[in-house]
Amino acid sequence: MQPLPSRRHMLQTASCGFGYLAFKGLAAAESGTLVDRPARHAARAKRVIFLCMSGGPAQLDTFDYKPQTGKKPHPGSVYNFAHHGESGLLISELMPETAKHADKLCVLNGMHADTGIHAQSFLQLHTGDRLRERPSFGAWISYGLGTENQNLPGFISLNTSRPSVYSSSFLPSIYSGTPIGTNGEAMEKATIANVTGDHLPLSVKRRQLDFVQVMNRAHAAARPGDAELDSVIKSMELGFRMQTTAPDLLDISDEPNWVLEKYGVGKQKAPVGTCRMSDFGRQCLLARRFAEAGVRFIEVNHGSWDQHKNHRRDLEANCAVTDGPIAALLEDLENRGLLEDTLIVWGGEFGRPGLTPGNGKNETGHNANGFTFWLAGGGVKGGHVHGKTDGTGARAVDGKVHFRDLHATVLHLMGLPANDLKYSHAGRQHRLTGPEGGKVVSEIFA
């Protein structure tokens, strides 16, 4: 006959059960979801669409006109510019469709960054830090605001193979971006890993997940306060819920033909040189669909703008591929009443020095000292230029905006405290705007 357990042994054994019950109650209350969190102050934008032009767009041949002055030719713009819209915004001939929306654009011609090294500046653009792994821009916004749709993540990244673009780093993994179309996968075949697919009925998938989650929660009950484990459990629940929503959003067959034509879906000619085919039109259309569905941060990626020895050829190819879809996105968002609370951000990790007309050279390098971004919608002034570079576009000299200032400004527009959105990790507080902090560029607010 087994001896009866002592009172102390019984309490020690039962305590695991108490922990499990407490965890189960907490999980039930939160439903393992990204909750829709309120803004900290009056927000001008509800969501962000970041049009990331990887490689460094040549600002002097797109949005920062530098005419030749004096007798001696110097680096400057080599394409024609014209005034557009009621604002008279100067835009290159390479962007004729985007130019039709000049009065929506807020052009930042005084951008600057810390380095002209691709990998480091790209990392700083996305995370605020050029050397160390940190949470990405979209992850911070997802952490601050959650998602408006409990069946979708707060952050989606289209057409990227760089984890730094969508990593949550030391933030809980529930705030990571969900990548769609990675490692050169054709966008028309793009899926969400372990979400899309109908090999099993949804009811069977639910039973499978329930079985796994019972073990996960039992495991978590023995490790109370393990935020990473809790986040994994929530992520698995979100992954299941996405199966009811994401496939329909990725399936654009319900869009009218005229919409597909306007975005140029599947109609883009494969660019030459270093440019990479990504069906940019499909990306822009998916961005609009995810924005409508309540995703907070959508990143659209196009590369590469890293043109060196074939500057004119590759720049023309990149502009030809992106110009029409960007214009379609701006028009579509406006017609649907979404542009006023959707912030569009366009730009890359740095810019490029200008060519010198007449010298026969067709080469450009990297320029982190002065380049261009533009914003639209989401509470910013339309038809407006903020900042400028010197006479040759080599350096920002007025209205300077660093990446951390851009981050601070976007956070503020989203209703989040620019320098007070923090997370404790490894014994100290971290923020997107880094130790220096960022300046909110309120001069561009409408």
Query: Using one digit for the tens of pLDDT, what is the confidence trace for 39-64?
Result: 999 999 999 999 999 999 999 999 99
- pLDDT computed for residue 190 by the predictor: 57
CA distance linking residue 247 with residue 180, whole number of Å? 12
Instruction: Tell me the pairing of strands 178-180 and 342-347.
Output: unpaired
Are residues 318 and 302 in contact, defined by beta-carbon separation less than 8 angstroms?
Answer: yes
- pLDDT computed for residue 11 by the predictor: 39
- pLDDT computed for residue 279 by the predictor: 87
- pLDDT computed for residue 268 by the predictor: 63
- pLDDT computed for residue 17 by the predictor: 39
In angstroms and rounded to an integer, the radius of gyration of the C-alpha atoms of the chain is 24
CA distance linking residue 249 with residue 158, whole number of Å? 13
pLDDT class of 427 with cuts at 50, 70, 90? very high
Kindly report the number of other CB atoms within 10 A of residue 385's CB atom. Answer: 22
Among positive and negative, which fits the CA dihedral 54, 55, 59, 62? negative
Pairwise pLDDT comparison (192 vs 74), residue with the higher score: 74
pLDDT in tens, 154-182: 999 998 878 888 999 999 888 999 888 86
Are residues 275 and 317 in contact, defined by beta-carbon separation less than 8 angstroms?
Answer: yes
pLDDT class of 142 with cuts at 50, 70, 90? very high
- pLDDT computed for residue 359 by the predictor: 75
Are residues 263 and 285 in contact, defined by beta-carbon separation less than 8 angstroms?
Answer: yes
| Beta-bridge mates of residue 301 | 52
- pLDDT computed for residue 31 by the predictor: 35
